[in-house]
Amino acid sequence: MAVCIAVIAKENYPLYIKSTPTENELKFHYTVHTSLDVVDEKISAMGKALVDQRELYLGLLYPTEDYKVYGYVTNSKVKFVMVVDSSNTALRDNEIRSMFRKLHNSYTDVICNPFYNPGDQIQSRAFDNMVTSMMVQVC
- Rounded CA gap, 131 and 21, in Å? 13
Query: Which residue's CB is nearer to other proteins, number 64 or number 133?
Result: 64
| Minimum CB–partner distance for residue 16 and other proteins (Å) | 13
CB 15 within 8 A of CB 7: yes
Q: Which of 87, 108, 113, 119 binds other proteins (CB under 8 A)?
A: 119
Q: Which of 49, 55, 60, 63 binds other proteins (CB under 8 A)?
A: 63
DSSP assignment, residue 86? T
Helices (H), the chain: 25-46, 93-112, 125-136
Q: Which of 56, 36, 63, 68 is nearest to 103 (CA)?
A: 56
Site for other proteins in 14-43 (CB under 8 A): 14, 25-26, 29-30, 33-34, 36-38, 41-42
- Summarize as ranges the residues that interact with other proteins (CB under 8 A): 9, 11-14, 25-26, 29-30, 33-34, 36-38, 41-42, 45, 62-63, 65, 119
